[in-house]
Structure 1
Amino acid sequence: MSYDYNADDVFEMAEQIERNGAVFYRKAAADIKDPDAKNFLSDLATMEDNHEKTFSSMRKKLTAAEKTSTVFDPGGEAGSYLKALADTRIFFEKEIDTQSLQAILKAAILAEKDSIVFYLGMKDLVPEGLGQSRLDGIIKEEMSHINLLSRRLIATK
């Protein structure tokens, strides 16, 4: 049995992934000693907060059809499932040397790449009538993060 998601489901996951990313960057900022790196990581946490707001705003603009539930869920368990899926796919607990900005940046780039792969996979599970094309906005935002992180990683070498 296949399960189709709608754009609303994916935006809900995207918001949770951004919250998880903000926690990741704040923890890394708290652990690192270098003041410049600490500021950069704090800025990244703020960017994740802003991405969450962007995705929330994009989500509010979805049509009723793009929010149509694809499963019978009287107990509201789908929301818990989506949160768990988001929590375990991208910014989950990993062993990272949070004293090394290079290690943090490499882990962050990997997480952003994982998020893009995740959203591309989710795009295949969202029928066009349920907002498939809306996911391109999420993917574009995540790609901009990889660009920023990669530039900083190159600058630290």
Structure 2
Amino acid sequence: MFTFDDIRAIAVQIEHNGETAYRKAADRVDDPRLAELFRWMAEEEQRHGRYFAGIKGVELPVAGAEAAQRMGRDLLQEMVKEQTFSLDLDDLAAAVDVAAVLRQSLTFEEDTILFYQFLGDLIEDAAVKEQLTAIIAEERRHVTLLDGMLDDGGA
């Protein structure tokens, strides 16, 4: 059976992937403004991960459990492993172009939003759904910031 605990573990891993990658990006860039942005985003991801790790006692509704089961534990785990759902730390560390780092980060944030929207469709607990909505809004702000930086030429 596919449980909310399985989904929660994946969400925690996604946030950990983002935190780690943003901290590496902060160490790689020469521009202090970008470094500060990446450190801030790492802190955001860390906070999101702590939130997901702290959710206890949530059960998926029957329809949600069936949908999650159809999707399959293996599929979700593969999504997290794929580059489109985690920042590739080697590529990020090797990036010499700030725009490339920003594009990778943007893809990660967009994929994270899609996953959390999927979660939102499965969860009935009002408090968890409200917090998830707030996290999605924060991830959208990350997308807006990254888009703006790319529009400014990557700096």
User: Where on the TM-score scale, by shorter chain, does this alignment land: which range?
Assistant: 0.5 to 0.7
The alpha carbon displacement at 1:113 in A equals: 1.0
Residue of 12, 35, 42 corresponding to 2:32: 35
Does the aligned pair in 2 maintain the 1:20–1:87 contact within 8 Å?
no
Structure 2 gap ranges (5+):
67-72
Structure 1 gap ranges (5+):
72-77
Q: 1:47 to 1:5 in 2, by over 3 A?
A: same
List aligned pairs for 1:62-141, cutoff 5 A. Answer: 63-66=57-60, 85-88=79-82, 90-93=85-88, 95-96=91-92, 98-123=95-120, 126=122, 128=124, 133=129, 135-141=132-138
Which amino acid in 2 is paired with 1:90?
Answer: F
The alpha carbon displacement at 1:4 in A equals: 5.4
The alpha carbon displacement at 1:133 in A equals: 4.3
Higher relative contact order (CA 8 A, sep 6+): 1
Q: 1:54 to 1:120 in 2, by over 3 A?
A: same
**Aligned partner of residue 96 in structure 2, secondary structure:** coil
**Aligned partner of residue 27 in structure 1, secondary structure:** helix
Which amino acid in 2 is paired with 1:91?
Answer: S
Q: Would you tell me which structure has more helix in proportion to its own residues?
A: 2
* Structure 1 runs (4+) greater than 4 angstroms displaced: 80-85, 131-135
Question: Who is 2:69 aligned against?
Answer: none
Matched, 1:10 2:4: no
Matches of 1:110 and 1:133 in 2, distance apart? 23
Q: 1:32 to 1:132 in 2, by over 3 A?
A: closer
Task: Give deviations 1:20-69, integer Å, cap 9, x for gaps.
Answer: 00111122222222333222222221221122223334x24xx453499x
Normalization by structure 1: what TM-score? 0.64
Which amino acid in 1 is paired with 2:142?
Answer: H
Matches of 1:64 and 1:40 in 2, distance apart? 33
Normalization by structure 2: what TM-score? 0.65
Does the aligned pair in 2 maintain the 1:26–1:45 contact within 8 Å?
yes
**Aligned partner of residue 106 in structure 2, secondary structure:** helix
Which amino acid in 2 is paired with 1:95?
Answer: D
User: What percent of counterpart residues are identical?
Assistant: 28
